[in-house]
Amino acid sequence: MTAPHPLVLFMPSGKRGRFPVGTPVLEAARQLGVYVESVCGGRATCGRCQVSVQEGQFAKHGITSSNAHLSPVGPKEERYERVRGLPEGRRLSCSALIMGDLVVDVPQDAVINAQVVRKEADARIIERDPAVHMCYVEVEEPDMERPLGDLDRLKAALAKDWRYGDLEVDFHLIPKVQAILRKGEWKVTAAVHRDHDEDRPRLIALYPGLKNEAYGIACDIGSTTIAMHLSSLLSGRVVASTGASNPQIRFGEDLMSRVSYVMMNPDGREAMTSAVRGALSDLIDRVCEQGDVRREDILDTVFVGNPIMHHLFLGIDPTELGGAPFALAVSGAVSVKSSEIGLSLNEGTRTYVLPCIAGHVGADAAAATLSEGPHRQDEMMLLVDIGTNAEIVLGNAGRVVAASSPTGPAFEGAEISAGQRAASGAIERVRIDPVTLEPRFRVIGIEPWSDEPGFAEAAAETGVTGICGSGIIEVIAEMYLAGIISEDGVVDGALAARSSRILATGRTFAYLLHDGEPRITVTQNDVRAIQLAKAALYAGVKLLMDKQGIDHVDRIGLAGAFGTFIDPKYAMVLGLIPDCDLENVKSVGNAAGTGARMCLLNRGYRREIEETVRKIEKIETALEPKFQEHFVHAMALPNKVDAYPHLARVVTLPERKTLAEGAEAGGRRRRRGRE
Amino acid sequence: MTAPHPLVLFMPSGKRGRFPVGTPVLEAARQLGVYVESVCGGRATCGRCQVSVQEGQFAKHGITSSNAHLSPVGPKEERYERVRGLPEGRRLSCSALIMGDLVVDVPQDAVINAQVVRKEADARIIERDPAVHMCYVEVEEPDMERPLGDLDRLKAALAKDWRYGDLEVDFHLIPKVQAILRKGEWKVTAAVHRDHDEDRPRLIALYPGLKNEAYGIACDIGSTTIAMHLSSLLSGRVVASTGASNPQIRFGEDLMSRVSYVMMNPDGREAMTSAVRGALSDLIDRVCEQGDVRREDILDTVFVGNPIMHHLFLGIDPTELGGAPFALAVSGAVSVKSSEIGLSLNEGTRTYVLPCIAGHVGADAAAATLSEGPHRQDEMMLLVDIGTNAEIVLGNAGRVVAASSPTGPAFEGAEISAGQRAASGAIERVRIDPVTLEPRFRVIGIEPWSDEPGFAEAAAETGVTGICGSGIIEVIAEMYLAGIISEDGVVDGALAARSSRILATGRTFAYLLHDGEPRITVTQNDVRAIQLAKAALYAGVKLLMDKQGIDHVDRIGLAGAFGTFIDPKYAMVLGLIPDCDLENVKSVGNAAGTGARMCLLNRGYRREIEETVRKIEKIETALEPKFQEHFVHAMALPNKVDAYPHLARVVTLPERKTLAEGAEAGGRRRRRGRE
């Protein structure tokens, strides 16, 4: 009986297999489908295929692993280490041969660059399998006896060394191939793009000599903010991140006003497409400068955005999205040469745009879903991205449903008397003493709270100018907890007797949050605006819960800028989100940007989200008869009918008290148009 | 026992199969892989799927076929016939159901438009399977419950009705799809491009409603002439044909001078690329006007050309072709969006360029090979395209070899004292009385021969201005047959005593062909120039015969303009081509253009020529030690060593007589540089 071949286990993937003694570790990884980067194709020159071997007994796997089970460092590897250096314990997997059982670590060298505060790249490590591979080859020189063309000999070399048979070639390379081959003295690095496994691979760029780096861009085009990450396609490292306001804001703050602009202006679509593409170009300049990367070295790009941004970015008239049946021009993923959408990068650079889920649930929601992975887990997860139109996804591995809800711009500070964007001077945190009804608050740009030493001095400089989204959530929730407003949202005028903070304003009352210049109050109308917005959101969530047949969710992810800054507890006090263990309610930051980055670094995620989006059931809230009922119940704080047992454990919810609100008694009910 | 299903035989393909009663004839054709066009997808509206049924007993096939074995004409087909009309005996195969045994004729409605004399389309009927299909579909309207995008619903319809799953979409259509669907009221015709079977099909154009026609262009870019054919992709009919001089002539008459121009002038490549693309654009205008076709309705194009034209057309610097090892930038077939090479047609139009065989044997030779098909036959066929550089292909189904030979421009009238292009006034046919040595000749543009009534009057108008390529071949062959020149090509000065036609010119002699203004003579140098050219050509042919191990060929095809006008008999007297039964020596016209048209109308031919070119063995004459020896033998008329038994049966070849040619006695031997 011969001894079996050595057993090799790759971490972190856990893939394993037996290989003959003498097999290069890189080859074993390839055979198992473990992604290990390599540009030079086993010539020990690019250094991309580093691995390390764990020492010791791994009883669980039945492996005793040791560096001694690798072949000794040979002359090529030795030369690489001498010239370029290798971290302690690292080996080049192209040169290290399997001599015995091994546990091999594939290092995930993702070094995060945390330059940008608001929309920085998620720190997670993304397993790599990019759509673009860099492949170094040495090409046979031309020969009169066998008159194959230069390009054809390059293709033969790529088929032989990299198994890229039947290669397609971007036409722009054809007039250049001879000069590049000669400049590289018949040694070149080919950038080969293959997204779908069943696609023919495609040569998209060609460099003389060894080209040991390539980059990609992942970008979330939000209605208000654009976030962009520049990553190495080879190491996965985020090289630079940046963000900017969406310049389309000048055509309209919210999405519907931008659609109206297109409908009203003959050149509106082009103007908005140019604006967003121009902004992207500026951001590309910025990340390139930050990362010291040339535009030509960016070979792949991934974009997400809500349906209207998605359409405008692609040059599609979004008018159809402005009215029922809200028909998307295209819902599936879009693949295109970047130059076709006016991005000036390498001529061969590709763009992938994630699929949209529905007419109001965009590629950004798809990307957030990919990032947070409700479809990958058993627990029932609610994912909410609150903008002027909330995108809601609810599900688990068994079933995922999605909807949008017309929350309107109240959460962003519009429709609020003292509302403003989250910027210096905005009140972002509020506490109200339930006995004295006196507030304390915190202002963006000022470190101390308003009742702490140093606040007055700082405020004198910055000013206290308004209330931002998270501040409005907190002040109304605190007003409710302090008994200033009833569960129906009526400001209790009777309290005016007890506190000068309660002001009569015509037939209703307001709460004086800050008696400065300007004077900042929370009016009855402000409370109503927030109630309407949160009721719309909650009604949408509730419809999805109905579809799933559940009465509580296990986890909640709050996506987007708004989700990043609101305190989940206050969101729950307001009844913006359903009851849930607060431990399991998390801000997920720019989950859409993270999902885009996942698709950039691993084309497997593209298939995953395409498949997931195909399966997601879309609920059109406007067509659901129960929406109105849920909406009415959700006008109450936190909710007229739904219990908040988890919340009640951490917050003392006030007893129910019903107040009539002057002329508005009985509650105003309206169903707002879509936005 | 149940009776077997009816047997259906399709003609002309001969494909047959049994199908259940009630199967539409179109469906049976599809299943057998018989190409029957259909745009409307079985709705009996496009009328493209017409067939007819042969009546009678076909004992060989065991079929008794009758129109009664088709289902009666139903209401849809009746309506089509009433509105559009159907030729006698025709049925719509989408509507006619198989009820019994049938012999079905698929009509090949190729109607040839013979407007242009020189480079007209070959009249052959080409079985169709174009790379572009027109597919009418009715698309589901958008629906809030299932929020698929408009494009995605279009794709679903194409997958369902036309089995085009996994469709790729040209990006330029994405911003247009909504408007087109709405204009067509959800009924549209998609142009789907699929070249390779393994490629994903691709939507390249979209039209509202039923679009029942689409066109393609096949074009041979010759060094001197460009020939273009406009064909219907649906019926195969040639709608218009035209030709023009290649405007690159202003950069140099022959290919090498054009390469030199590129090498000497920094913008030379761009200038020549622009010139040829501009000429193509003019020709497109012309065929569109002739055929009453809009540019936007041209959806596919096929181009061929010699390697230098091929490179310049594609925007590739041809400098490498100017010297050993004569490296092509690309030898394989090239597929590209037409817009990428500056052809302004439909935005989705594709271009296919046939593969080149070697650095001097181009895509034109490949196309001629495809057209004449040596690789499809058992007989050994020689295919010669004579230009300034002759492209030679020799082979049969077993093996094909190819080479080029530097013939120089003598055959085109350059290097000949009275040489001129084949145009009005050029002598194109010559006979010499062997007794009197008096010539008679025929001039382009003049109907009678020079010794017939009316010639003088006509000549007074037209003029007799020179000798064109076919004329020079004939006059030298006739001079040889009349004994005016020896087998070594020396003009026999002794004959001056017998005839005033023999003129002393310094140390050598000339033959006076026409004593007019200008005086047209054939000088000793003219004879030498033709000898050198024909010896180079023959030596190349002979090398290929050596490779094949043969001493005679079964068939000879003479391609190109020169091949069209020379008399094979005289070509053989000169020893330009090897001995062969004259019955089997044919002009094959613009075989390259025909090959291009085959690739346009049937993508199967693309695979055939790609495969054939991969297999063709290329002989580099410059590397072959025997070339020189063959060349020297071929300087003699017809040849010093090779016998011409077939020729001797129809022509009385003179007895051998060797003459010394004044100062040049012993024969001048030179090997010319490539061109």
Instruction: Kindly report, residue by residue over B470-487, the tens digit of the pLDDT.
Output: 999 999 999 999 999 999
User: Does the pLDDT at position A112 exceed 50?
Assistant: no
Is A178–B329 a contact, with Cβ atoms under 8 angstroms apart? yes
pLDDT at A303: 98
In this complex, is the C-beta atom of A666 within 8 Å of any C-beta atom belonging to chain B? no
- Residues A239, A230 contacting (CB under 8 angstroms): yes
Q: Pull the structure tokens for residue B137.
A: 């579909």
Who's near B669: CB < 8 A, 6+ residues apart? B632, B635
- Residues B15, B34 contacting (CB under 8 angstroms): yes
Distance (Å, whole) CA A263 – CA A319: 6
Distance (Å, whole) CA B640 – CA A119: 86
The CATH superfamily assigned to A215-353 is: Domain of unknown function (DUF4445) (3.30.420.480)
Who's near B24: CB < 8 A, 6+ residues apart? B42, B93, B94, B95, B96, B97, B98
Neighbouring CB atoms inside 10 A of B161's CB total 17
Who's near A655: CB < 8 A, 6+ residues apart? none
Q: Nearest 10 degrees: CA dihedral of B157, B163, B166, B170?
A: -70
**Within the 198-257 window of chain B, which residues sit less than 8 Å (CB to CB) from chain A?**
198-200
Distance (Å, whole) CA A169 – CA A200: 10
In this complex, is the C-beta atom of B324 within 8 Å of any C-beta atom belonging to chain A? yes
Buried b (16+ CB within 10 A) or exposed e, A347-356: bbbbbbbbbb
In this complex, is the C-beta atom of A330 within 8 Å of any C-beta atom belonging to chain B? yes
- The beta strands (E) that lie in A116-237 are given as 132-138, 168-169, 187-193, 202-208, 215-221, 225-232
Of the candidates A151, A172, A336, the beta carbon closest to that of B171 is on A336
- DSSP per residue over B252-301, as a string? -SSHHHHHHHHHH-TTHHHHHHHHHHHHHHHHHHHHHHHHT--GGGEEEE
Of the candidates B144, B155, B622, the beta carbon closest to that of A623 is on B144
pLDDT at B258: 83
Nearest CA in chain A to B613: A148
In this complex, is the C-beta atom of B74 within 8 Å of any C-beta atom belonging to chain A? no
**Mean pLDDT of the A514-540 span:** 95
**Within the 343-362 window of chain B, which residues sit less than 8 Å (CB to CB) from chain A?**
356-359
Buried b (16+ CB within 10 A) or exposed e, B576-602: bbbbbbbebbebbbbbbbbbbbbbbbb
- Residues B261, B299 contacting (CB under 8 angstroms): no
Average pLDDT, chain B: 91
Is B334–A174 a contact, with Cβ atoms under 8 angstroms apart? yes
CA distances from A427 to A162, A353, A439 (A): 58, 37, 12
Neighbouring CB atoms inside 10 A of B289's CB total 11
3-state SS class at A153: helix
**pLDDT < 70 regions, chain B:** 1-2, 108-124, 657-658, 660-675
Is A314–B340 a contact, with Cβ atoms under 8 angstroms apart? no
Q: Pull the structure tokens for residue B594.
A: 């025909």
Which segment, A110-114, A610-614, B419-423, is predicted with the most confidence on average?
A610-614
Phi/psi-derived region of residue B89, left when phi > 0, alpha when psi is between -120 and 50, beta in every other case: left
Q: Pull the structure tokens for residue A100.
A: 């015995």
Is A175–B315 a contact, with Cβ atoms under 8 angstroms apart? yes
Is B329–A174 a contact, with Cβ atoms under 8 angstroms apart? yes
In this complex, is the C-beta atom of A336 within 8 Å of any C-beta atom belonging to chain B? yes
Peptide bond into B434 cis (omega under 30): no
Distance (Å, whole) CA A97 – CA B383: 55
Q: Nearest 10 degrees: CA dihedral of B532, B535, B536, B542?
A: -170
Q: Does domain B7-105 have CATH number 3.10.20.30?
A: yes
CATH topology of domain A132-208: Ubiquitin-like (UB roll) (3.10.20)
pTM: predicted TM-score of the whole model, two decimal places: 0.89
pLDDT at B123: 61
Distance (Å, whole) CA B98 – CA B66: 11
Rounded to a whole number of angstroms, the distance from the CA of B247 to the nearest CA of chain A is 21
Phi/psi-derived region of residue B293, left when phi > 0, alpha when psi is between -120 and 50, beta in every other case: beta
Who's near A365: CB < 8 A, 6+ residues apart? A306, A357, A383, A385, A391, A393, A402, A592
- In this predicted model, what pLDDT tens digit does every residue of A47-70 receive, in sequence order? 989 999 999 999 988 899 999 999
Who's near A341: CB < 8 A, 6+ residues apart? A277, A313, A314, A315, A351, B171
SS3 of B411-433: the string is HHCCCCCCECCCCCCEEEEEEEC
Is A330–B149 a contact, with Cβ atoms under 8 angstroms apart? yes
Give percent above pLDDT 90 in chain A.
75
3-state SS class at A358: strand
Cα angle B9, B15, B16; round to 5:
45
**Within the 148-177 window of chain B, which residues sit less than 8 Å (CB to CB) from chain A?**
148-152, 155, 166, 168, 171-172, 174-175, 177
Is A334–B620 a contact, with Cβ atoms under 8 angstroms apart? no
Same-fold call for A7-105 versus A215-353: no
Query: For residue B207, how far is the Cα from the chain centroid?
Result: 32
Instruction: List the one residue out of B612, B634, B627 whose CA is nearest residue B546.
Output: B627
User: In what order do the strands lie in the sheet containing A298-305?
Assistant: A238-245, A225-232, A215-221, A298-305, A350-353, A334-337
**Mean pLDDT of the A409-424 span:** 85
Distance (Å, whole) CA B8 – CA B69: 10
Is A144–B198 a contact, with Cβ atoms under 8 angstroms apart? no
**Within the 535-594 window of chain B, which residues sit less than 8 Å (CB to CB) from chain A?**
none
- B399 DSSP 8-state letter: E
In this complex, is the C-beta atom of B341 within 8 Å of any C-beta atom belonging to chain A? yes
pLDDT at A266: 87
Residue A661 pLDDT level (bands cut at 50, 70, 90): low
User: In what order do the strands lie in the sheet containing A502-505?
Assistant: A502-505, A508-515, A519-522
Nearest CA in chain B to A323: B144
In this complex, is the C-beta atom of A308 within 8 Å of any C-beta atom belonging to chain B? no
Q: How many residues does chain B have?
A: 675
Query: Using alpha carbons only, how large is chain A's radius of gyration in Å?
Result: 29
**Within the 444-463 window of chain B, which residues sit less than 8 Å (CB to CB) from chain A?**
none
Pairing assessment for the beta strands B7-11 and B16-18 based on DSSP bridges: antiparallel
**Mean pLDDT of the A326-342 span:** 96
pLDDT at B245: 84
Residue A670 pLDDT level (bands cut at 50, 70, 90): very low
Is B320–A178 a contact, with Cβ atoms under 8 angstroms apart? yes
Distance (Å, whole) CA B257 – CA B249: 10
Nearest CA in chain B to A619: B145
Burial class (CB in 10 A: 0-12, 13-18, 19+), A108: middle
In this complex, is the C-beta atom of B30 within 8 Å of any C-beta atom belonging to chain A? no
pLDDT at B661: 62
Rounded to a whole number of angstroms, the distance from the CA of B442 to the nearest CA of chain A is 43
- Residues A418, A516 contacting (CB under 8 angstroms): no
Pairing assessment for the beta strands B50-53 and B102-105 based on DSSP bridges: antiparallel
Distance (Å, whole) CA A144 – CA A430: 82
CATH topology of domain A367-409+529-654: Nucleotidyltransferase; domain 5 (3.30.420)
- DSSP per residue over B125-182, as a string? ----B-SEEEEEEEPPPP-SSS---HHHHHHHHHHHHH---S-EE-GGGTTTHHHHHH
Of the candidates B177, B320, B330, the beta carbon closest to that of A174 is on B330
- Residues A345, A338 contacting (CB under 8 angstroms): yes
Of the candidates B147, B341, B358, the beta carbon closest to that of A147 is on B358
Distance (Å, whole) CA A411 – CA A422: 11
Buried b (16+ CB within 10 A) or exposed e, B290-304: bbebebbbbbbbbbb
Rounded to a whole number of angstroms, the distance from the CA of B118 to the nearest CA of chain A is 32
Distance (Å, whole) CA B572 – CA B553: 13
- In this predicted model, what pLDDT tens digit does every residue of B145-192 receive, in sequence order? 888 999 999 999 999 999 998 899 999 999 999 999 999 999 999 999
The domains of chain B are located at 7-105, 373-675
Nearest CA in chain B to A269: B175
Is A359–B144 a contact, with Cβ atoms under 8 angstroms apart? yes
Q: How many helices (H) and strands (E) does chain B have?
A: 17, 29
Q: Which residues of chain B have a CB within 8 Å of the CB of A273? A: none
pLDDT at B476: 97
Who's near A515: CB < 8 A, 6+ residues apart? none
Is A358–B147 a contact, with Cβ atoms under 8 angstroms apart? yes
pLDDT at A117: 31
pLDDT at A122: 53
Residue A304 pLDDT level (bands cut at 50, 70, 90): very high
Q: What sections of A497-590 are H helices per DSSP?
A: 524-548, 560-565, 568-574
Of the candidates B142, B179, B332, the beta carbon closest to that of A149 is on B332
Is A340–B142 a contact, with Cβ atoms under 8 angstroms apart? no
Residue A33 pLDDT level (bands cut at 50, 70, 90): confident
Q: Which residues of chain A have a CB within 8 Å of the CB of B148? A: 328, 331
**Which residue of B152, B199, B616 is the best one to mutate when testing the A interface, meaning the one whose CB has the most A CBs within 10 A?**
B152
Distance (Å, whole) CA A142 – CA A155: 13
